[in-house]
């Protein structure tokens, strides 16, 4: 379907089985970090980014499950079945069991693998849960969101400690004893503990997926600069608390001299929410990009990301090469020395490319990123539908107002949150063709109606609607996706439709 460029000369020494600390933020706005000029305090993130490489064109999927499953598998969401959006709490599907996760791949190459925080890749059978999918241990939530203190979603409690015990038995403990404690801090505490106890001779994969700053916007217990108040203030405090967690992780990496052989990757799984629900309701800011979470405009899919590591050749710069969330799997697979053919589980085709040369030495790699594909009839075989076993996982299925969706039905197959649309970035061009979610722009220094954030949100409407048509943007001259040049550049449109 798409020919991926693999023409990069190998110029960068490749780390061999480095420690990987992969930190994921949830719905963090493109502008909501200090290094992009935000007034939200993120000193630890800023320090790491400034000593590392800021990935300016790091593309993800527009919502949580699609991004996370693409990260875990190295495969586009149109292949995994996750193009249709998030796994809702009571839906009977998940990342298919024939998919190989990053944790599984690293574990079979000798890595210790620990998952912390939000999973959201499927949990309706035990086999879909993280410790059955390559993680040695997991501490966190299976679903996509939770109250930061109560650790519940609807009526289900969802904070779990999961591992195989010394007898090889699968153990899952619901940590109700931690109810009332702030989940960002609990996740940081666990990461710190793992790093303190980790034997230096074993390569480590630590996946730290905060729920911050995703809804429900519960601010941390103490917020000096951002006392609980407006939604924007809460959001800012939540981001800052996550930043403190990042700082604690870095500190212990240094204390234990693990840092010299560690690669830290930070990314948000998608952009900040830009919905206009019941009046101005802004929290995060994707300025200057258009749109936000759920949309395939840049604000939804070009997310904050950076890499920090002493193993990088060139540091302290903004890397503008094209990267995609699927690339990490391919990159780490190479570093881990994984030989897929030596394992009994077949490796499904990977869409990601090894981007180490691009990240470490600023060499070009990809020319295109496929964000969505229109002809769903060709990908129906990616849909998995199995019998519900949610009750075995401790969830109350009688949640009022939640409908069990059956994705084997044609109508629901087209229920894609981002629209029924072909979206491709190729070189400097970005094409939309089909029916898509239209969103507009975040204003500069979005203050969310909060006078402590001195700016104005007037003059720019935040609309959300579906539209049908063809849009072509030249992102080099028009990064805000303001001017549709599809008519003027019909030749480019045709080339991109044929790719
Ligand atoms: Ca998200």
Using alpha carbons, select from 234, 240, 273, 233 the residue that is nearest to residue 450.
233
Distance CA 154, CA 296 (A): 28
Q: What does DSSP assign to residue 268?
A: E
Distance 58 CA to ligand 1 centre (A): 15
Catalytic residue among 58, 64, 376, 462: 64
64 is catalytic: yes
Across the range 484-492, mean pLDDT stands at 94
Catalytic residue among 58, 114, 120, 376: 120
Distance 20 CA to ligand 1 centre (A): 21
Distance CA 162, CA 9 (A): 42
Range in 272-276, 297-301, 308-312 with the lowest mean pLDDT: 272-276
Distance CA 112, CA 202 (A): 7
Using alpha carbons, select from 56, 59, 45, 37 the residue that is nearest to residue 318.
56
Question: What's the pLDDT band for 464 if we cut at 50, 70, 90?
Answer: low
343 is catalytic: no
What CATH code would you report for 19-366? 3.40.720.10
Distance 335 CA to ligand 1 centre (A): 27
Fold of 372-498: Arylsulfatase, C-terminal domain (3.30.1120)
Identify the pLDDT of residue 418.
58
Average pLDDT, the chain: 83
Across the range 266-283, mean pLDDT stands at 72
Q: Are the CB atoms for 139 and 133 separated by under 8 Å?
A: no
Range in 118-122, 245-249, 447-451, 462-466 with the lowest mean pLDDT: 447-451
In 7-99, which ranges are continuous DSSP H helix?
43-51, 64-73, 77-80
Q: What does each C-alpha distance from 369 to 51, 221, 326, 478 come to in angstroms?
A: 27, 41, 10, 18
Question: What's the pLDDT band for 221 if we cut at 50, 70, 90?
Answer: confident
Across the range 293-298, mean pLDDT stands at 90
217 conformational bin, left if phi > 0, alpha if psi -120 to 50, beta if neither: left
pLDDT above 60 (res 366): yes
When computed from its CA atoms, the radius of gyration of the chain, rounded to whole angstroms, is: 21
What does the DSSP assignment read for 424-484? EEETTEEEEEEEEEEE-BPPTT--TT-TTS----TT----EEEEEEEEEEETTT-TT----
Distance CA 427, CA 88 (A): 35
Q: Are the CB atoms for 120 and 142 separated by under 8 Å?
A: yes
Identify the pLDDT of residue 359.
97
pLDDT above 90 (res 413): no
Range in 23-27, 382-386, 420-424 with the lowest mean pLDDT: 382-386
Identify the pLDDT of residue 372.
86
Q: Are the CB atoms for 364 and 384 separated by under 8 Å?
A: no
In the chain, list all ranges with CATH 3.40.720.10.
19-366
Distance CA 143, CA 242 (A): 19
418-448 confidence digits (pLDDT tens):
567 889 999 999 999 988 877 777 665 454 4
Distance CA 421, CA 376 (A): 10
What is this structure's pTM?
A: 0.89
Handedness of CA 212, 215, 220, 225 (dihedral sign): positive
What would you measure as the largest C-alpha separation in the chain, in angstroms? 67
Distance 254 CA to ligand 1 centre (A): 29
pLDDT above 70 (res 382): no
Please state whether beta strands 305-308 and 137-141 pair in parallel, antiparallel, or not at all (unpaired): unpaired
Identify the pLDDT of residue 296.
92
| Strands annotated E in 311-354 | 317-324
54-91 confidence digits (pLDDT tens):
999 999 999 999 999 999 999 998 888 887 788 888 77
In the chain, list all ranges with CATH 3.30.1120.
372-498
Range in 77-91, 360-374, 390-404, 461-475 with the lowest mean pLDDT: 390-404
Distance 321 CA to ligand 1 centre (A): 23
Percent of the chain with pLDDT over 90: 61
Using alpha carbons, select from 144, 121, 124, 145 the residue that is nearest to residue 134.
121
């Amino acid at each position: 379907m798409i020919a991926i460029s693999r023409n990069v000369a190998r110029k960068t020494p490749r780390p061999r089985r480095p420690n990987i600390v992969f930190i994921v933020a949830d719905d963090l706005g493109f502008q909501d970090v200090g290094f992009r000029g935000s007034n939200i305090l993120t000193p630890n993130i800023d320090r790491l980014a400034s000593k590392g490489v800021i990935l300016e064109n790091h593309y993800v999927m527009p919502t949580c499950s699609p991004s996370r499953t693409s990260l875990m598998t190295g495969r586009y969401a149109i292949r995994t079945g996750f193009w249709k959006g998030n796994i809702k709490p009571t839906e009977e599907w998940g990342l298919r069991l024939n998919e190989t996760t990053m944790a599984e791949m690293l574990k079979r190459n000798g890595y210790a693998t620990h998952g912390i925080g939000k999973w959201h890749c499927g949990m309706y059978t035990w086999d879909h849960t993280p410790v059955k999918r390559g993680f040695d241990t997991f501490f966190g939530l299976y679903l996509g969101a939770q109250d930061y203190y109560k650790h519940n979603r609807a009526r289900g409690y969802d904070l779990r400690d999961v591992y195989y015990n010394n007898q090889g038995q699968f153990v899952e403990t619901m940590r109700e004893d931690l109810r009332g404690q702030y989940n960002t801090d609990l996740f940081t505490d666990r990461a710190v503990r793992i790093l303190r106890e980790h034997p230096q001779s074993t390569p480590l994969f630590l996946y730290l997926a905060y729920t911050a700053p995703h809804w429900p916007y519960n601010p941390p217990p103490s917020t000096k600069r951002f006392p609980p108040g407006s939604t924007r203030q809460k959001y800012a405090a939540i981001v800052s608390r996550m930043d403190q967690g990042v700082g604690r992780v870095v500190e212990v990496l240094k204390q234990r001299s693990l840092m010299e052989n560690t690669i830290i990757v930070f990314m948000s799984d998608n952009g900040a929410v830009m919905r206009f629900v019941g009046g101005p309701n802004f929290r995060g800011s994707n300025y200057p990009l258009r749109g936000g979470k759920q949309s395939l405009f840049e604000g939804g899919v070009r997310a904050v990301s950076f890499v920090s590591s002493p193993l990088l050749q060139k540091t302290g710069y903004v890397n503008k090469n094209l990267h995609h969330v699927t690339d990490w799997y391919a990159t780490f697979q190479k570093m881990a020395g994984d030989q897929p053919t030596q394992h009994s589980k077949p490796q499904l085709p990977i869409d990601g490319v090894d981007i180490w040369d691009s990240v470490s030495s600023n060499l070009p790699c990809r020319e295109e990123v496929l964000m969505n594909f229109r002809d769903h009839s060709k990908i129906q075989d990616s849909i998995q539908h199995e019998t519900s076993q949610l009750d075995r996982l401790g969830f109350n299925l009688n949640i009022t107002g939640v409908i069990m969706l059956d994705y084997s039905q044609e109508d629901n197959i087209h229920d894609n949150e981002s629209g029924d649309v072909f979206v491709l970035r190729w070189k400097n061009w970005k094409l939309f063709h089909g029916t898509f979610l239209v969103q507009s722009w975040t204003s500069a220094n979005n203050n969310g109606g909060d006078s402590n954030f001195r700016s104005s949100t007037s003059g720019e409407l935040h609309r959300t609607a579906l539209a049908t048509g063809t849009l072509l943007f030249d992102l080099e001259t028009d990064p805000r996706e303001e001017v549709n040049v599809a008519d003027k550049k019909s030749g480019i449109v045709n080339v991109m439709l044929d790719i």
